[in-house]
Structure 1
Amino acid sequence: MRIFHVSDCYPPRTGGIESQVRDLARAQVAAGHEVHVLTATAGLGGERGGAVQDDDGVQVHRLGTRMPFALPVNPAAPPMVRSLLADLRPDVVHVHAGVLSPFAYDGARIAVAHGTPVAITWHCMLDGTVPALRRVVRASRWASAPIALSAVSHAAAARVAAVFDAPVHVMPNGMDLERWAPQARPDPPVGRVPMPRAADAAGDPDLATGPAGLDGHAGTQLRCVATMRLAPRKRGPALIGIVEDAMTQLQPGALALDVLGDGPARTTMERRIARRGLSDVVTLRGRLPRDQVRAAYADAEVFLAPAVLEAFGIAALEARTAGLVVVARRGTGIEEFVTDGVDGLLVDDDAGMARAIVRLATDPALLASLLGSARTHPPVFDWANALVAAELEYGRARDLRSSSGN
């Protein structure tokens, strides 16, 4: 099968859509397909304007142009997309969409007009945009276009369905489960657990001394990690407030958080950490290569995911696969692979996340139970399942195109 993937973003840019499109394309090449990626993202050396690069067998067509801040946008790309469709005649065009994806939406429009089967997958939550998008769809040809609609989670699919009033399937992301499998961990000290703050434990000798008769000082430290782009949507600054809330209920030294990633919110987070006296609790480690991320997960117990508009959560899935207890917001795509009270905790708000952290820091039996389940029951989002889901969507796109009579 000859497959076109159309995406505004692609490596060397970093992010969830970029990594998923690249990994899916590579998996399809390994399965014997001919795969092309059409993107507005320039290459590492600035390649653009139609340059073609081989990316482990994936033919990447760099259709971008020079834009301020290297934005992956090119209003002049449609003629190049039409030419590639005419010359290569793909069997299916798979469009990868976010809230703002002008290049991807142009690609979808052009492919539909060309008569090629089209599948569109949304990698985002459309909260706040559904009414406006619904009006646009109703007033245009998109309402009747023969397109297979999908999203990366049930939560994201519900928003897309509200826009189109049409069936929206779930096409989950995939990952290399073996690569992220749990690594060996050192055994924690026996009988030592983090204690609540002395002021909270004053009326309870058991809380003040701990189950092993400790002297009221913090015992084993709860090691947490969060991996995210430090941007407003991921709510990195809010995470600092959550940690501050948790530390008002814990002894000093009871909690440590490593934040992996970089972005425009880093300066704000650094200021909040310093202003709130959390420099000995929170460490911003910057963006790390995947091998170092896995090493960080091997040294942690809990993954914190404070984002509200999380369509799927690749970083959370990687942490969950690595055997960490995931604490995340309810109603996000993370619910696809985290079960509350079994292998993680789902919360309704920031205060609930702070309470969950305190529970895990002070209830060793709960932490052990969740860790045991997370380490022995890996999620099912491997590339074999992702490839099957993609091919089902491609078949649905072909059926919709055939039944449309166009």
Structure 2
Amino acid sequence: MSPVIVHISDCFPPRTGGIESQVAALAHAQHNRGQTVQVVTATPAGPGLQPAWPYPVHRITARLPRQMPVHPRAGRELDRLLDRLGPSVLHVHVGAISPFAWAALGTARRRGIPTVVTVHSLWDRAVQGVYRALYRFGCSPAVPLTVTAVSTRTAWLVRQTLPGTSPLVIPNGIDTDWWRAHGPVTGEDDVVRVSSVGRLVPRKEPMELLAALRAAHARLRSRGTSLQATFVGTGPSAKAMHTYIRRHHMEQWVRLAGHMDASGVRRLLSETDLFVNPSRREAFGIAALEARTCAVPVLARVHTGVADFVRHGQEGSLCHHSAFALADELVWLARNAGARRHLAEHNRHTAPVRCTWSAVTEAFTHAYEESLGGGAR
């Protein structure tokens, strides 16, 4: 009989974001693999008709402003639900601040349930302090616990925060066959189409990218090259971005496209010469992986999760964290069409094999077996 896997996550659709989409997609891939999987979340269901998930989704919710994924009695409610579900192993997903996940770890400790924890974010110093205190003062489960991280950089920060842990690096997954590019690499040398996909929130640094695009555009115009930039996503930074674009007269070449579904993003990437992820705090970068799989060169920062699947000069370019480095690299890539074509051809002919759902689900199966066998990392 296969083990009963119960995913626990503060966030889940209809909320949008990396953790939400990844938990839903991982559970779907495991279900397709024939594993018994359920999801428990603190995220309320959205209004209207709800999607039919192929696996059970249990929502432990409270009426709070802005439908925040928080429950004041999460531990008690989790105890009741897990009594009924009888999980073999818990798979707890944590970000920066994850009170529902923390409550689940306490429940696992009390009930002796083997647990796998996946860390999805780069912890800053304040968050490291919180996790260090929780770990030190007995909030870590006294049960078999296997820790995984979505990238090498994330794993390094977990080791720095929680001495004695040895996180397994298990990347996020995508349907690489669906995202794989099939058409020829095209594009005009004098018009470079740039795209960026992600939530428009300060930690993703969309304003920094706007500033870099403005500086690069000014330098390129005198050399006969222009940029056409598209941002996909929604979020609280959108208002400031609109104001910045109007103030600096960028409306003719910068577009805020809002939300797009996956098919729309794939169409956009098929017409993109360069994908940019400007964040210095990127734990993984699912949209960057999708772009890389679509044969688009990726520009991102060093010392982020993107560096696990984008190597400088092979799948794209990695720039330093200074205010000017992003603009400098944009200018260089925009002026060097041959370099962009070389990167695109490499991406077309090499798949990110560690990020296929087959590889990711297999890796997590081994992590569950380790935890069920009494191992700890």
Q: Does the CA-based 8 Å contact 2:300-2:319 persist in structure 1?
A: yes
TM-superposed CA distance for 1:348, in Å, is 0.3
Q: Tell me the amino acid that sits aligned with residue 113 of structure 1.
A: R
SS at match of 1:58: coil
Alignment of 1:60-209 (within 5 A): 60-128=57-125, 129-142=127-140, 146-165=144-163, 166-185=165-184, 187-188=186-187, 193=189
TM-superposed CA distance for 1:144, in Å, is 5.5
TM-superposed CA distance for 1:184, in Å, is 1.6
Further displaced range: 33-42 or 71-80: 71-80
Partner of residue 45, structure 2: 43
TM-superposed CA distance for 1:88, in Å, is 2.1
- TM-score, with structure 2 as normaliser: 0.93
Once the two structures are aligned, what percentage of the paired residues are identical? 34
Q: Tell me the amino acid that sits aligned with residue 327 of structure 2.
A: A
Partner of residue 242, structure 2: 270
Q: Does the CA-based 8 Å contact 1:311-1:333 persist in structure 2?
A: yes
Structure 2 residue runs of 5 or longer lacking an equivalent are none
Partner of residue 389, structure 1: 363
1:368 aligns with 2:341: yes
Q: Tell me the amino acid that sits aligned with residue 128 of structure 2.
A: V
Alignment of 1:221-300 (within 5 A): 221-251=191-221, 254-300=226-272
CA distance, structure 2, for counterparts of residue 143 and residue 159 of structure 1: 20
**Looking at CA atoms only, which structure, 1 or 2, has the larger radius of gyration?**
1
Distance 1:138 1:173, change over 3 A: same
SS at match of 1:105: helix
- RMSD over aligned Cα atoms: 2.0
CA distance, structure 2, for counterparts of residue 118 and residue 187 of structure 1: 47
CA distance, structure 1, for counterparts of residue 211 and residue 113 of structure 2: 49
Distance 1:295 1:46, change over 3 A: closer
TM-superposed CA distance for 1:54, in Å, is 7.9
TM-superposed CA distance for 1:87, in Å, is 2.0
CA distance, structure 2, for counterparts of residue 390 and residue 30 of structure 1: 14
SS at match of 1:44: coil
Alignment: residue pair count? 369
Structure 1 residue runs of 5 or longer lacking an equivalent are 48-52, 194-219
Q: Does the CA-based 8 Å contact 1:185-1:299 persist in structure 2?
A: no
CA distance, structure 2, for counterparts of residue 11 and residue 257 of structure 1: 28
Further displaced range: 356-365 or 326-335: 356-365
- Cα deviation digits, residues 236-270 of structure 1 (max 9, x gap): 11111110111121117611110000100001011
SS at match of 1:140: coil
CA distance, structure 2, for counterparts of residue 327 and residue 186 of structure 1: 17
- TM-score, with structure 1 as normaliser: 0.87
Q: Does the CA-based 8 Å contact 1:121-1:151 persist in structure 2?
A: yes
SS at match of 1:400: coil
